Each structure stands twice: as structure tokens, then as C-alpha cells.
Amino acid sequence: MRKKILLLPILGIICTANAQVGINTNTPSSTLDFRGSLEGNYREVTADATLSATDYHVSFAGTATATLGLPQMSTADGSSSDFRGRKYFVKNNSSTSNLTLAAASGQTMRIGGSNTANNTYILSPGVLGIFTANATNGWDLDLAVNTIPDTSWKITNNAFNGTLNSVQAISTGNTYQTVDGTSLTVTVPTGYNQSIVMLNFNGWGDVDPGGVSMGSLRFQIAQTGTATATYTSTTMTSWSFPVTGARTRYTFPAAYSISNLAPGTYTFNLQVVREGETGTAPNAVNVWGVQSTAKVYNRN
């Protein structure tokens, strides 16, 4: 079959007999095929208004709550008021005020899912909505997206370690000893403005007394990797034997947060030292188990 081609060189439009229109292309492959930018009418409103047939993108910049009405459309196919498929882009650029989108009386907006079709829809500040006239009784909300940057905290990395019922003796002296099962390695990613590393060590142990005595355990966190640091006195626990007695148990919950570490990989270890002991030295100070977690939170 031969095709008739109409050339409009000034406008750069090619029309073929099979109703395909090309803009800036000699070979349109769709009903409308344009190779260039798309421009639609732009209007800004600050108070109550109604969308018209000439609107395309409407921006709300009011300082008080307002309502934007959607036009009445007909479901009678081919009628002058049947504009099914028409799209409106509506952006709430207000910093504080909601914009209510209201369909004409008796018509609704469909959101989908378990949401019931409703006559109104509220665009919060910073939200963009795309509305399409449908063939039922009103409009489809194709998209409602929050264009405000997401500043919520997100877990971007985590680590877990732990030992249970694995006895570790804590020796005397002034040197800190690494607690088994507390080594945690995490990565602080790039591309965020803020970061927090949350460390939690929960463990328990016992003291075997040699007589009347008392003492304490002091914990610190050692950091290695992209940068080294020591976070002292993160927690303490103590024990006391006012009279000669049997073993006693203790716990040591240690929680610590570190803000805005430079992006990189870090390893953390909980360390302990015995101190302040008086009276008869205990036969043993033991750690019986520990559960350790690290979580990296980031936000923009």
C-alpha cells in the first residue's frame, strides 16, 4: 500500500496517511512521535480555584488552606465534555498549607487498593499529584509523591555477635581486656549528611568470692578501622560480699552512640578492667556470655 506523505518543513512535522504524526522525525513509530522537549501550560494559584481545559501544570503557593476544583466530565463517549485521558499535574508548593482537590458533585477520585473512591483528596505541602480523567465517573489519581527530601533516619548497615555460656576469666591489673563475642564490624556509607552508630552489649557473669570483699568492673569501647578511638567509661557494674558467701551474678548492659563518623569501615570491641577491689581478693571474676549488636543509621 502506498502512503501519502505531507511535509511541513517549517514546523518540522511529518504526517503519514496511517495517522502517525512525527515531530523532528521522518519516521514516526507511534500515533504521536516527537523528538524534543514537551511544554504545557503553567499556572500558579494561591487561593481557591478551578482547573480549566487549558491547564496542564498547576502550582499552589498559598499561605492558607485552599480547594482546587476538578472540572465536570462526561462518561458519554464522543461528547464535547468527554475528555477521558486528560491529565493534570498539581503540585502543592506551600510550606504549611494543605490543598484539597475536589471532584465535581457526584464524581469521585479513585486511588486504588483498599482505598474507597472519594470526592476529595488532600495534597500535603510538598506533594505532587497526577490526575487522569477516567471513563467511569471522575478521575484516577495516578501518582501522589512527596517531593520533599526524605530526612528520616534509616538503618543502612548492622552487625551481630555473641557468646553464651563460654566462660572468660577477667584477670587483675590495670590493662583493659577485650570481652569475647563483642567484636562488631560495620560500614558507614557515603552519600548521607548525618550518621549515628548505635552499639549495644548485654552480658552477664559471676564472681567467686574468697572472703569479705567488694569491687567493680569498668567497660570501654575500642574503635579501629578507618579511624581509631577509645570511648571510656561506657558503663560500670559492681559486686560486694559484706560477709563470706557463695558466688554472685552480675549484668553489664552497655549502650553507646557515636555520631557522624566519616564514611568507612569500623570495628568495635567492648573491653573491661577490674578496679576498686578491697578486702580478700575473689577467687575468680568471670564473664559467662554476651550479645552484641551494632546498627548504622543515616539521613540526609
| All cell numbers assigned to 296 | 548504622
Domain finish residue from 146, 165, 184: 146
Total structural domains within the chain: 3
**Which parts of the chain have pLDDT scores under 70?**
1-18, 75, 77-80
Domain finish residue from 123, 146, 169: 146
Write the CB contacts of 26 (distance below 8 Å, at least 6 apart in sequence): 14
156: helix, coil or strand? Answer: strand
Cα–Cα distance, 219 to 281 (Å, whole number): 20
Task: Tell me how far CA of residue 193 lies from CA of 56, 149, 259, 262, in angstroms.
Answer: 36, 12, 11, 10
Domain that holds residue 224: 154-299
Same domain, 137 and 163: no
**What do you get for the CA distance between the two ends of the chain, in Å?**
60
pLDDT digits over 16-55, tens only?
656 788 889 888 889 888 888 888 999 999 999 999 999 9
Cα–Cα distance, 286 to 162 (Å, whole number): 16
Residue 172: closest CA among 202, 231, 217: 217
Its pTM surpasses 0.95 = no
Task: Give the CATH number of the domain where residue 139 resides.
Answer: 2.60.120
pLDDT digits over 241-250, tens only?
888 778 888 9
pLDDT digits over 187-214, tens only?
999 888 899 999 999 999 999 998 899 9
DSSP 136: S
Cα–Cα distance, 84 to 73 (Å, whole number): 8
Residue 300 CB coordination number (10 Å): 11
> Would you report the helix, strand and coil content of the chain in percent, each value rounded to 5?
0, 55, 45
Domain finish residue from 120, 146, 172: 146
Same domain, 61 and 193: no
